[in-house]
């Protein structure tokens, strides 16, 4: 039987969809690897989206990247 991982610990520089540092990365799903910070509050809703600079999204920002360009491990 093949062991398929559905999550792994986040690596330094990986982000949650709210912009905080991720603690877990979920590997499965329609959007691909997605970071999670452990807080289901969506981040500071008064601030703009950390990925596109616009208002916060009801769902994942299309500009979200697990590891923003220019960050290294």
Closest CA to 60 of 31, 28, 26, 24: 31
Strand partners, 34: 26
Mean pLDDT of 31-55: 92
The DSSP call for residue 39 is -
Q: How confident is residue 48, by pLDDT bands cut at 50, 70 and 90?
A: very high
Strand partners, 21: 15
Residue 50 has pLDDT above 60, yes or no: yes
Q: How confident is residue 2, by pLDDT bands cut at 50, 70 and 90?
A: very low
Q: What does the alpha-carbon distance between residue 59 and residue 55 come to, in Å, rounded to a whole number? A: 12
Higher pLDDT, residue 8 or 58: 8
Higher pLDDT, residue 58 or 62: 62
């Amino acid at each position: 039987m093949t062991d398929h991982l559905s999550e792994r610990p986040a690596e330094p520089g990986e982000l949650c969809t709210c912009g905080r540092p991720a603690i877990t990365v979920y590997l499965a799903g329609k959007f691909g690897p997605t970071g999670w910070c452990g807080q289901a509050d969506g981040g500071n809703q008064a601030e703009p989206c950390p990925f596109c600079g616009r208002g916060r999204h009801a769902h994942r920002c299309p500009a979200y990247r697990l590891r923003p360009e220019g960050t290294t491990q």
